[in-house]
Amino acid sequence: MVRLNRALFIGRVTRAFTSAAAAAAAATATSIAMTSDPVSFPPTAAPFSGVLRVVPSGGEAASNSLLPPMPPLPQVPQQQQQQPQQQPQQMMTMLPADILSAFEPNPLTFDPPGNHGATAAGAGAGVGAGAAGGIASMVMPGQEQMMGALGGTLMPSTVSAVGGDTPTGYYVTMAAAAAAEVPSLEDHTEAFSNLKVDLAELDFGNDDEDFIDHDEGNLNNTSQSGGKPASIQGGGADNDALTEDLTHSCEGSQTSQLSLSSEHAQLLAMVRSALDLVVTFRAERREGGANGNQSTCDDAELHHALGRILYKHFSGNSSLEDGGVSFTTDRDKKKNVHVDVGSSDDALDDDIEASSRRKGRRTTVGCTAKSNDDRSGYAPLLDFGYPIRLSTLVDCLVKSRSSPNDNVCFFASTEDVEEELREMLEKPGRYLYDAAEAVYCDGQLRFAKDKLYGRSEEVATLMSAYDRVIHSKKEKRGIALINGYAGSGKSSLVDQILPRLQSDRASFVYCKFDIQGQEQPMSSFFRALDGYCQNLFDGDPTLLAEIRGAINYALGPSVSLLKGQVPSLGAVLGRESPVLQAAETTDALNHISYSLRLFVRAISGPTHPLVFLLDDLQYADKKSVDAINLLLKDTDTTSLLFIGCYREESVSIDHPLTEGLGDIAMTAEMPMSSITLSNLDKQSVNDMVSESLNMSRRLTRPLADAVHAKTRGNPMFVRELMASLYADGLIRYAATVRRWEWDIIAIREKDVADEVVDLLVGRMKGYGPEIELVLQVVACLGTSCDPNALCLCFTDEDRNSTSVDSCLMRLMADGLINKVGVMYRFGHDLIWQAAYALLTSSSKQQSMHLHVGRQLLKNGSEEERNQMMSIIADQLNRGVDLIDDDAERLLLTRMNLQVGRKELASMSFLPASLYLLQGTILVHDEDWKDHYQMCLQLFTSCAEVQLALGNSGETVTLATQVLTLGRSLQDKLGAYYALIKAKLLQGDVDESVKIGLSVLGQLGECFPTRVDEAKIGKELMETEHLLESSSLETISKTDAATDADRVATMRFLLLTSRIAYTINPGLNLLMNLRMVQTTMAGGLTPESSFAFSSCAFALCSIDHHDLAAFCAKVSISLLGRFNQKYAHITIPTLILSILAYRQPLQALVEEFRKAYKNAMAVGDVDWAIVSIGQVTNVSIFAPERGRNLGHVQDEFLHNLQELSMYNHMLFSLYVSPIKEALSNLRYVESSSHVSATSAGVENPPTVCFTADQNHMVSVCASKNLKNSLRKVYCNRMWLAYLYRRYDLAAEFATKNQKFAAGNPIYAPIETIMETLYLGLVAFAVLRERVRLGDSSFDGGEKWTKISTDVINKISRWNEEDSSWNFQNKIDLLNAEQAFTDGDYPRALEKYESSIGNAGKHGFINELALACERLGLFHQSIGNTIEAQMHLMLSKQHYRTWGATRKADDVHHLIQSM
């Protein structure tokens, strides 16, 4: 590149134009015009070649000119031409003002061949009128004003730059010159030839205001240039910017999208006219055939005739038109075919044939261009300034008869000609405009980035899935799965929806999984969310504010843990969020999972939809697949579209994705769109090759067929093979004719790798050892790497011999590596595989990883080593088998411990697990003696992490190792804690309790193996004495415990008591009381608040309500201590204690909902399940106003889906009884069940229990889960009573009481309902004994005692706690007692009182029951009308409650009367 400053450039141009002015003598112009051959450039005169066309000043072409004139094109009106021309920005290269001032400005217009009489307005205005002759010269692009002053006209040059340089020169025909002012210059033709200036060879720079700006400019601004075509408006194009502008015009199907210059409009008009000629030609041939005059001449002669017609159309050969001589071939003579193409056609045929003979060679393209030294006289349209694509079309038609051996480039039919002309009109920016040719015909092999070929149906399917979720809102969430081989264009297909996102205010999250990501679960997922947050922060401030508010509202303090995984989330929130810690480290993963779901809910919605691209799902780890499933099943998430790309051949039957896709397919609420990308067909490959070479599909078809045969149509394989052929010289760009050529025979015979990876490997090896080494190192660092880390991987010697930056620049230029932000990333995972495959064996891979790790450790500073510690440890771990030095092994062990504990501190359990597990593998037995603390911390931390990840087996193994080799109880406590929870996770509840009791015994707290009332009474008396001797203020101000054993004791008491509740409620009560005693004796701990709330819960179960109320107050006073660590379990326990008796039950529902959210927020699934079970139970037995069982069922199913992923033991225990109750009360699926009222079903509904529910009872019995069995039989007793199956109700009541004996701890809601229905069943049994005889029901005294105890207990609750909750219940029991005793007036009074109080206090379920019992009472004493009336009311109330199945039961009861 030659760099010229202003002075040098002015000097050169001044000298050039001084010589040009001297050459304006009339004799010189005439002699040049009469030259028999066109003037051509000497081979040594300039680095390009072409034809100089000289036109006399008279305006008409010389009669002996070999180049026929062009028909006149529509001209810009003269009035317009005389307007001052506004110079477009960055479009024209102007001469310095001091040169331009020497000439008077005079606008010019494009003077096409054959229209030389239409010279520019004002031509010669600045010169003498007597000027004669014509002068040929060259001119710098953009110098229209200068040439106008000389009376000249610009013509596009046919010169093409050698070696791919952009053609930028233009010829000038001088219509007039000031002969009196310039001397003659007859002998300076060669000097004129050398005046052609190529701005591509000039670099004026941009660091000085005097330097000349020669930027090409933008096609869309040509309308401002006074109608000058792009080819005249500048040289030295900025190809990248121009390509972007042209790409827009190329893709548009309507030429109206372009702001066209007048010359472009004229050219388009000419092409449209040519298309009309072709259509007419085809029609006439068909019409001639219909009239019996159709010729049977071969296609070559027809195409030749059509070519001559088009050649005449574009070249404007008027002499041919006037002559009207018919041209008839020998075959035409035989068939009577007459084609009128002009009188000079035979001569033209001779020129064409002579031109073809003189070539002396056969080009592999098969489309022969006119050589530089061709003197035959035939001039292609290219010589007239027409675009190469148009020139080639006409050239091939004209030569179709004279070059039979070159049939590759010829047309198969005239339909192909029509198609190619239409393509030019559809994409004029690519095929017709000179500026486009400057970009697309520069000798560089280009493939349109992310351009799709042959995928229209797949794009439509994807767009449909997008519209269903984002626009039509038919689906809240959606997933589209795209399956295809590597390189089939899956990611490019997804890119088709990206332009739609901005208009829809939609956000895009790109999550790319890779092979290494499988070893670091969830890392890709969180990295994608971090990128989303960064883009959000840098983007639209309005959207940022909107989503920031949504995140704060949805997550609240729960966002604190998520920020550790998504660092950029802190920038989005803009402030420090309140910290909400997980209750236990083992619960943190649940915490993160829940927070992730809330986060996605917040960032997606109707006003800001979210599209989540999951690329390369075949590499996704199980945790990521589970997270995706969780988000897809979240019914509270809306306007969320997941697009997953994967390779089906890489997904085996046991792959996590297989199970995940199965779960998604079974979700009816969330339909799945499936798209399969197969290989491209031949036509699509030809489209791809055609556009890359900027040639017609007709010309590239043989090449495309050969490429398709070797690649099977895989798009990426096609691109790589084309690049390989280009590198090998089998595809080359012929600069002289501005056209691509190829050796089709050699291409067909070339051996090509079967897979694209092998082809890439071969390509990479061709770079040489330096670049190959860089590729290997980058591949070892992963699919992406940090530039600083990459630099440290090389030794000083390597850095001296190899420029890493230059290697990376070369790789980026070739598209193998991209720079995304500050990171280097491979362009495709197949490219990474190929680069990694350069290390041809496992040992070489390990050796390189070890080398990289050692280099990072050696070359990095202390700060750099700390920052890259995880990278260093990862690299050394991958080469660990080659480490044979003990010191290096111990160093790596400590590095794994350091990195693992750092990840654990930020709750990044998945990467922490990798490093800690690797560290345990490196430990030898003797290390426990010599490096005890390192081994203890490593194994304990690893056990903790494995437990958090749910890997119970690994947890047990690691914990057992610590318990075996640990030196003290304090050293072992962490392992014991993990072991207890691991056994619980495995379902071994008994073993968990045994281990807990063992640890407590070692800490000095012993408990009996069997708990009876005497032991409970003793423990209760001790606790009551401590509480009575202390005040609320004294306990609240107690100091925190400092003794390590005391602190550990409280922690293990809390853990073991929660587990014991399910199998031994008595033991749970003892532990709750002991926690209070330990707190008051040894000081406060984080567990103290929960200790007092659980004590209140236990005391309520044994009817010590006043003492329970005191404990509740103490618990609330302590809740603020220790950062409310256990608030999520303390508060619901308080609700389940005294509040359930003294507050309206309906008010508890919302409190339990809050308790559920709090438990999920800290990841405590146990209490989340307990809380949501209480939400459903209370909603059933104390319905909220305005909500029925239908709403309860919907909420229950929603929460069921939310909790189902955790696979927790308590889940089934709490879910099964609720499912059983709802299935008996209402038709679960109304579409498949019709009420008896409307359908007239003969058999009434009755109580029923499914096989699954019976199986759950067996499971509870086998595991001795006493409280669970107590709840199951309480539930069944209630349902059997509702359906008047008193025999079953009595059986279930007996079983319920069996499990209640010795197990006093029971939830208040269940206790209240159990007590009520136990009394109702007792009265029903007593009446049935009288009706059926004593033999039918045993134990009359037992049922009498039960009924009496129930009435006394509920009466006490009604008097001491809350009449709101218990008045209607005691009224109903009293009515049943009076009915049983035969006191009918009192019974009637109490029934009506129960009905009134139930309605007043909002117990719609008990209102329906009281009406039903009153109706049955009237039926038994013979008042049928009263019975029917109250039963009708009962049915109505049951329906209002939502118990549709039970309402049908009452309906049948009425019908039976």
Residue 782: the pLDDT is 87
SS (H, E, C) 574-597: CCCCCCCCCCCHHHHHHHHHHHHH
Please name the amino acid found at residue 1139. L
3-state secondary structure at position 493: helix
Residue 103: the pLDDT is 33
Average pLDDT over residues 1319-1325: 94
Burial of 125 (0-12, 13-18, 19+ CB in 10 A): middle
Choose among 1408, 929, 1406, 1023: nearest CA to 1182: 1406
Please name the amino acid found at residue 217. G
Burial of 832 (0-12, 13-18, 19+ CB in 10 A): buried
Quote the CA–CA distance of 507 and 476 in Å, as a whole number. 16
In the structure, what pLDDT confidence band is assigned to residue 1328 with cuts at 50, 70 and 90?
Answer: confident
| pLDDT single digits (tens) 699-733 | 888 999 999 998 989 998 898 899 889 888 899 98
Q: How far apart are the first and last CA of the chain?
A: 109
Please name the amino acid found at residue 1183. P
Choose among 743, 699, 702, 734: nearest CA to 367: 699
The 10 Å CB-count burial string (b at 16+, else e) for 522-551 is bbbbbbbbebbbbebbeeeeeebebbbebb
3-state secondary structure at position 1044: helix
Residues with Cβ within 8 Å of 1395's Cβ and at least 6 positions away in sequence, in order, are 1368, 1407, 1410, 1411, 1414
Question: Which of the residue ranges 667-671, 940-944, 1351-1355 would you say has the lowest mean pLDDT?
Answer: 667-671
Residues with Cβ within 8 Å of 953's Cβ and at least 6 positions away in sequence, in order, are none
Q: What is the arrangement of strands in the sheet containing 135-139, beginning at the earlier edge strand?
A: 135-139, 170-174, 152-156
Quote the CA–CA distance of 847 and 844 in Å, as a whole number. 5
Which contacts of 201-207 are long-range, i.e. CB under 8 A and separated by 24 or more positions? 201/1, 201/2, 201/47, 201/165, 202/1, 202/2, 202/3, 202/4, 202/9, 202/236, 203/1, 203/2, 203/3, 203/4, 204/3, 204/4, 204/5, 204/6, 204/9, 205/3
Higher pLDDT, 1382 or 587: 1382
Residue 986: the pLDDT is 85
- Tokens representing 394 are 């006409």
Residues with Cβ within 8 Å of 1029's Cβ and at least 6 positions away in sequence, in order, are none
Residue 260 predicted with pLDDT over 60? no
Higher pLDDT, 536 or 66: 536
Quote the CA–CA distance of 281 and 306 in Å, as a whole number. 8
Q: Is residue 736 within 8 Å of 372, Cβ to Cβ?
A: yes
Could you please report the per-residue DSSP string of 171-225?
Answer: EEEES---GGGS---TT-HHHHHTT---GGGEE--SSSTTSPP-----GGGGGGG
Residue 801 predicted with pLDDT over 70? no
- Tokens representing 467 are 């519209």
Q: Is residue 27 within 8 Å of 187, Cβ to Cβ?
A: no
Rounded to 5 degrees, what angle do the CA atoms 186, 192, 194 make? Answer: 140
Beta bridge partners of 742: 731
| pLDDT single digits (tens) 1279-1299 | 999 999 999 999 999 998 888
Helix or strand holding residue 156 (H, E): strand 152-156
Residue 1325: the pLDDT is 92
Residue 458 predicted with pLDDT over 60? yes
Percentage of the residues of the chain whose pLDDT score is greater than 90? 27
Residue 287: the pLDDT is 62
Q: Is residue 158 within 8 Å of 382, Cβ to Cβ?
A: yes
Quote the CA–CA distance of 1253 and 278 in Å, as a whole number. 80
Residues with Cβ within 8 Å of 545's Cβ and at least 6 positions away in sequence, in order, are none
Strand stretches in 332-470, DSSP E = 339-340
When mean pLDDT is compared over 259-268, 1021-1030, 1133-1142, 1248-1257, the highest value belongs to 1021-1030
- Tokens representing 1399 are 């309605």
To the nearest 10 degrees (0 to 180), the angle between helices 1404-1420 and 1363-1381 is 10
- Tokens representing 454 are 């042959």
Average pLDDT over residues 352-376: 42
Quote the CA–CA distance of 963 and 928 in Å, as a whole number. 13
Average pLDDT, the chain: 74
Residue 666 predicted with pLDDT over 80? no
In the structure, what pLDDT confidence band is assigned to residue 1381 with cuts at 50, 70 and 90?
Answer: very high
Residue 1331: the pLDDT is 76
Average pLDDT over residues 330-356: 42
Residue 1363 predicted with pLDDT over 80? yes
Residue 119 predicted with pLDDT over 60? no
Higher pLDDT, 1210 or 533: 533
Residue 330 predicted with pLDDT over 50? no
Residue 519: the pLDDT is 55
In the structure, what pLDDT confidence band is assigned to residue 212 with cuts at 50, 70 and 90?
Answer: very low
To the nearest 10 degrees (0 to 180), the angle between helices 262-290 and 299-315 is 150
Rounded to 5 degrees, what angle do the CA atoms 356, 361, 362 make? Answer: 85
Question: Which of the residue ranges 42-46, 486-490, 841-845, 1392-1396 would you say has the lowest mean pLDDT?
Answer: 42-46
Quote the CA–CA distance of 1402 and 1399 in Å, as a whole number. 5
Residue 1205: the pLDDT is 65
| CA diameter of the chain | 146
| pLDDT single digits (tens) 990-999 | 899 999 999 9
Q: Is residue 943 within 8 Å of 913, Cβ to Cβ?
A: no
In the structure, what pLDDT confidence band is assigned to residue 917 with cuts at 50, 70 and 90?
Answer: very high
In Å, how far from its chain's centre is CA 816?
Answer: 22
The helix/strand count (H/E) of the chain reads as 69, 21
Residue 19: the pLDDT is 42
Average pLDDT over residues 440-454: 75
Please name the amino acid found at residue 1212. S
Distances (CA, A) of 338 to 280, 298, 310, 345, 394: 16, 15, 17, 13, 21
Average pLDDT over residues 1346-1357: 93
Quote the CA–CA distance of 1301 and 1012 in Å, as a whole number. 10
Torsional sign, CA 809, 813, 816, 819: positive
Residue the block writes with tokens 């028909």:
71
If one counts every other C-beta atom within 10 angstroms of the C-beta of residue 672, the result is 16
| pLDDT single digits (tens) 1097-1106 | 888 877 888 8
Average pLDDT over residues 386-400: 84
Helix or strand holding residue 875 (H, E): helix 869-878
When mean pLDDT is compared over 10-19, 391-400, 661-670, the highest value belongs to 391-400
Distances (CA, A) of 359 to 37, 43, 301, 1398: 18, 18, 22, 108
Please name the amino acid found at residue 472. S
Please name the amino acid found at residue 450. D
Quote the CA–CA distance of 913 and 523 in Å, as a whole number. 13
Residues with Cβ within 8 Å of 566's Cβ and at least 6 positions away in sequence, in order, are 526, 529, 530, 533, 599
If one counts every other C-beta atom within 10 angstroms of the C-beta of residue 187, the result is 9
Half-sphere exposure of 96 (CA within 13 A, CB side): 16
Radius of gyration of the chain (CA): 45
If one counts every other C-beta atom within 10 angstroms of the C-beta of residue 155, the result is 23
Quote the CA–CA distance of 1257 and 1190 in Å, as a whole number. 26
Higher pLDDT, 1384 or 1119: 1384
Quote the CA–CA distance of 297 and 1252 in Å, as a whole number. 84
Residue the block writes with tokens 């009604």:
1358
